[in-house]
Homo-oligomer: A and B are copies of this chain.
Amino acid sequence: MTASAHPELDLTVSRIIRAPRAAVWNAWVDPVSFEKWWVPAPTICRVREMDLRPGGSFRTEISDDGVEFGPHITGCFLAVDELERIIFTDALVAGWRPSEAAFVTAVMTMADHPDGTEYTATAMHRNVADRNQHEELGFHDGWGTVIGQLAAVVE
């Protein structure tokens, strides 16, 4: 597990996924695969924009019934390092423009592990209040669930 540099501000989940790094990477960058695991089932996810480059738009929507979709993530990729790391934030939108509602920067890393891939997701917040709010909203349960779903897609 990668230690967070600021545990008082950040939340982290990590899991050994029994699949090669390329499979985990592909499950992230292919929208059809991504939609299968990005939100806890039975909620349905749709990728509206996934422009995987620094400054590129990242926008997902969610639905309970598959008919009416509402906003989920509206953000911007900050770093896309193939097979290694993806970083996005909702503090910016497409083209690095400041957003109306900033909350988190998310850092996902993939590293080789004897049993497959160590996948780590860290949520960075601006202050302790936001971090604690995110924890109370169920960060560990939610992000833990979706990483389990990611593992189920690729293993």
- A contacts, CB < 8 Å to B: 5-6, 9, 54-55, 78-79, 87, 89, 91-92, 95-100, 102-105, 107, 124-127, 130
Contact = CB atoms under 8 A, between A and B. Distances in A.
A9 B54 CA distance: 21
Given A55-B79, A78-B54, A91 B87 contact: no
B98 A104 contact: yes
A54 B54 CA distance: 9
Given A54-B79, A78-B55, A79-B54, A124 B99 contact: no
A92 B105 contact: yes
23 contacts: A5-B95, A6-B97, A9-B97, A54-B54, A55-B78, A55-B87, A79-B96, A87-B96, A89-B92, A89-B98, A91-B91, A91-B92, A91-B98, A92-B105, A96-B107, A96-B124, A97-B124, A97-B125, A97-B126, A98-B126, A99-B102, A100-B126, A102-B102
